[in-house]
A and B are shown apart, each in its own frame.
Chain A
Amino acid sequence: MSDEPTVRHHESVVTPAGEHDITDGGPDMVQFLDAEGNRLETNESNAPYAEIVEALTAEDGRAMYRDLVLVRRVDAEGHALQRQGELGLWPSLLGQEAAQVGAGRAMRPQDYAFPGYREHGVAWCKGVPPENLLGMFRGVNNGGWDSNENNFHLYTIVIGNQMLHATGYAMGIQRDGAVGTGDESRDAAVMAFTGDGGTAQGDYNEALVFAGVANAPVVFFVQNNQWAISEPNYKQFRIPPYLRARGFGFPGVRVDGNDVLASYAVSKAAMDAARAGQGPTLIEAFTYRMGAHTTSDDPTKYRIAAEVDIWREKDPIKRMRGFMEKNGHADQEFFDAVDAEADEIAARIRKACQEMPNPELPTMFDNIYVDEHPVVAAERDEFVAYHASFEGAGH
Chain B
Amino acid sequence: MSTITMANALNQALRDSIAEDENVLVFGEDVGTLGGVFRITDGLTRDFGEDRCFDTPLAEAGIVGFALGMCLTGFRPVVEMQFDAFAYPAFEQIASHVAKMRNRTAGKVTLPMVIRVPYAGGIGGVEHHCDSSEGYYAHTPGLKVVTPSTPADAYSLLREAIADPDPVVFMEPKVLYWSKADLELPATTEPFGRAAVRRNGTDVTLVTYGPSVPTALKAAEAAQEEGWNVEVIDLRTIVPFDDETVVESVRRTGRCVVVSEAQGFGGVAGEVAARVTERCFHSLEAPVLRVSGLDIPYPAPKLEHTYLPGVERILDAIARLQWDDVPDLHHAGAGATA
Beyond A148-B108, A373-B240, whether A172 also contacts B142 by CB under 8 A is no
- Given A164-B93, A213-B57, A370-B102: A148 and B193 interface contact (C-beta under 8 Å): no
A168 with B110: CB separation less than 8 A: no
Determine whether A170 belongs to the interface, using a CB cutoff of 8 Å to chain B: yes
CB of B224 within 8 Å of the partner chain: no
Chain A residues with Cβ below 8 Å from B71 are 168
Whether B106 lies near A161 (C-beta < 8 A) is no
Q: Please state if A169 and B70 are interface contacts (CB–CB under 8 Å).
A: yes
- Pair B67/A168 contact, Cβ less than 8 Å: yes
The residue from B61, B74, B144, B164 contacting A164, defined by CB atoms under 8 A apart? B61
Say if the beta carbon of A166 comes within 8 Å of chain B. yes
Does the CB pair A147–B105 fall under 8 Å? yes
Give Cα distance in the complex from A374 to B104, angstroms.
21
Instruction: Assess the A142–B61 pair: CB atoms within 8 A.
Output: no
The smallest beta-carbon distance between B200 and chain A, in angstroms, is 24
Known: A164-B61, A207-B65, A375-B240. A175 touches B107 (CB 8 A): no
Residue total for B at the interface (Cβ-Cβ under 8 A): 45
Tell yes or no: B69 within 8 A of A by CB: yes
What residue of chain B has the Cβ atom nearest to residue A202's Cβ? Answer: B61
A367 to B108 Cα, complex, angstroms = 9
Cβ proximity bits B48-71 to A, threshold 8 Å, 1 near / 0 not: 000100001101011011111111
A369 within 8 A of B: yes
Residue on A nearest B55 in the bound complex, by CB: A213
Q: For B68, list chain A residues within 8 Å (CB).
A: 164-165, 168
A238 CA to B102 CA, complexed, in Å: 38
Whether A176 and B108, one on each chain, are in contact in the complex, defined by CB atoms closer than 8 angstroms, is no
Cβ-defined contact, A374 with B73, below 8 A = no
A206-B65, A369-B144 known; A147 and B109 CB under 8 Å?
yes
CB of A169 within 8 A of CB of B72, answer yes
Q: Are B57 and A203 in contact (CB under 8 A)?
A: no
Contact between chains at A164 and B69 (CB < 8 Å): yes
Determine the residue in chain A with the shortest Cβ distance to B59.
Answer: A206
Q: Check A143 for interface membership: any CB of B closer than 8 A.
A: yes
Asked if A141 CB lies within 8 Å of chain B CBs, one says yes
A165 to B64, CA, bound (A): 9
Contact across chains for A207 and B75 when beta carbons are under 8 A apart: no
Q: Do the beta carbons of B73 and A169 come within 8 Å of each other?
A: yes
A146, CB-defined interface residue at 8 Å: yes
- Nearest A-chain residue to B57, judged by Cβ: A209
Q: How far is the CA of A370 from the CA of B241 in the complex (A)?
A: 16
| B73 & A172 in contact (Cβ 8 Å cutoff) | yes
User: Does B322 have its Cβ within 8 Å of any Cβ on chain A?
Assistant: no
Q: Tell me, yes or no, whether B141 is within 8 Å of chain A by CB.
A: yes
A342 CB within 8 Å of chain B: no
Beta-carbon contacts of A174-192 to B below 8 Å, as 1s and 0s?
A: 0110000000000000000
Is A167 interfacial (CB-CB < 8 Å)?
yes
A171 on the interface (CB 8 Å rule)? yes
Q: How far is the CA of A167 from the CA of B64 in the complex (A)?
A: 11
CB within 8 Å of A: which residues of B?
51, 56-57, 59, 61-62, 64-75, 89, 92-93, 96-97, 100-110, 141-142, 144, 164-166, 193, 239-241, 243
Enumerate the 10 nearest inter-chain pairs by beta-carbon distance, A residue then B residue, closest first: A168-B69, A164-B65, A172-B73, A206-B62, A169-B69, A168-B66, A143-B104, A367-B107, A165-B69, A206-B59
Q: A143-B106, A167-B69 are in contact. List 8 more A-B contacts (CB 8 A).
A: A146-B108, A147-B108, A161-B96, A165-B68, A169-B73, A171-B70, A368-B142, A370-B166
